[in-house]
């Protein structure tokens, strides 16, 4: 068992899959000798060489176009889009091409590729480099969508993504790159479409994703210690496939549901989960589903303003306390 940063876990995850399968290739901007803009790919170029770790021009369309072609001809590419905001630049490739090739070819073409990208706020990059855009990808049929919150989950879920026959959008939260966590030795392989109950509880269910998972956990501890409210905390981890069995089972036990979402409130991933729970478990609920989100506005760059708009531990505690009262 070793302690790794989230950043180093990304590098280990890529290296694990490249060492296991020579068909896995990696391409993106500054991922080679530079080690990535977030230093999450250090050492890969030296270990696997320029044929398998390829720096690209500053062109998101070129990166995903090349990755799609490689995937359809037998390789298993990993493509990096530096900031998740830039998925908008190559959205046609994502929404109309890679997500639909297998379906439109009746299975004759496969597109087993992973698009990994740095997502989310908290690093003061401003409105065009700080968005949390998991819901952009979640809405497109044919894509799988993953957002890990810990170093161990980075490796296990990334391995599952690389080995999956469908395209996977893999969101790494840029404000988690420095966090540390214990990671088992040897090969790690997890399962897409599985959530994790990180803290059992009986009074309310709080579900969160990526950066918000740590805040939900801290809020749950405070709610128990200060107000006697025992919250169950679920790390969603995978939005597509979504582990509805885990979520609905928790709601059946606690009878209350709160979502903690970094994405803007309008059409956020929690809205879809709230809809599913209302459809499937309405009579298990003892109160309305409550969503704790970022407001529907461009993210500010100023540190004090960015901190205000993102869900905080204090806001989670206050919202759950008032709702339960």
Residues with a known catalytic role: 60, 129
Is the Cβ–Cβ distance between 78 and 117 less than 8 Å?
no
Token pair recorded at residue 68: 């799609």
Give the whole-angstrom CA distance, residue 273 versus residue 207: 10
Give the whole-angstrom CA distance, residue 275 versus residue 281: 10
Q: What is the largest CA-CA distance in the chain?
A: 61
> SS3 string of 129-176?
CCCCCHHHHHCCCCCEEECCCCHHHHHHHHHHHHCCCCCEEEEEEHHH
Give the whole-angstrom CA distance, residue 34 versus residue 165: 30
* 3-class secondary structure, 49: coil
Q: Say how far residue 88 (Cα) sits from the centre of its chain.
A: 17
Token pair recorded at residue 173: 């939260």
Strand partners, 234: 197, 207
Cβ contacts of residue 104 below 8 Å, gap of 6+?
none
Pairing of strands 76-83, 144-146: unpaired
Give the whole-angstrom CA distance, residue 170 versus residue 173: 10
């Amino acid at each position: 068992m070793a302690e790794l940063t989230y950043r180093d876990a990304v590098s280990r995850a890529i290296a694990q899959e490249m060492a296991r399968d020579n068909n896995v290739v990696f391409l993106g901007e500054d991922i080679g000798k530079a080690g990535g803009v977030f230093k999450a790919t250090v050492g890969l170029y030296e270990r696997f060489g320029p044929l398998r770790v390829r720096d690209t021009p500053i062109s998101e369309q070129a990166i995903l176009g090349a990755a799609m072609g490689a995937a359809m001809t037998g390789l298993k590419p990993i493509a990096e889009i530096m900031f998740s905001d830039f998925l908008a630049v190559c959205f046609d490739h994502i929404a109309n091409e890679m997500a639909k090739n297998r379906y439109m070819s009746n299975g004759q073409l496969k597109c087993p590729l992973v698009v990994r990208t740095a997502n989310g706020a908290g690093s003061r990059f401003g409105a065009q480099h700080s968005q949390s855009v998991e819901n952009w990808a979640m809405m497109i049929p044919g894509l799988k969508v993953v957002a890990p919150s810990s170093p161990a989950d980075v490796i296990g879920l990334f391995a599952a993504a690389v080995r999956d026959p469908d395209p996977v959008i893999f969101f790494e939260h840029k404000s988690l790159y420095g966090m540390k966590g214990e990671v088992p030795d040897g090969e790690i392989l997890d399962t897409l479409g599985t959530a994790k109950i990180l803290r059992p509880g009986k009074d309310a269910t709080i579900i969160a994703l990526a950066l918000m998972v740590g805040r939900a956990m801290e809020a749950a501890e405070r709610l128990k210690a200060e107000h006697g409210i025992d919250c169950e905390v679920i790390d969603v981890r995978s939005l597509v496939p979504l582990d509805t069995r885990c979520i609905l089972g928790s709601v059946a036990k606690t009878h209350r549901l709160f979502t903690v979402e970094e994405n803007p409130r309008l059409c956020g991933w929690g809205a879809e989960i709230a809809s599913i729970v209302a459809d499937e478990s309405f009579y298990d609920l003892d109160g309305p589903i409550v969503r704790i989100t970022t407001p529907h506005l461009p993210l500010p760059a100023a540190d004090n303003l960015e901190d205000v708009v993102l869900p905080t531990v204090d806001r989670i505690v206050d919202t759950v306390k008032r709702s339960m009262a």
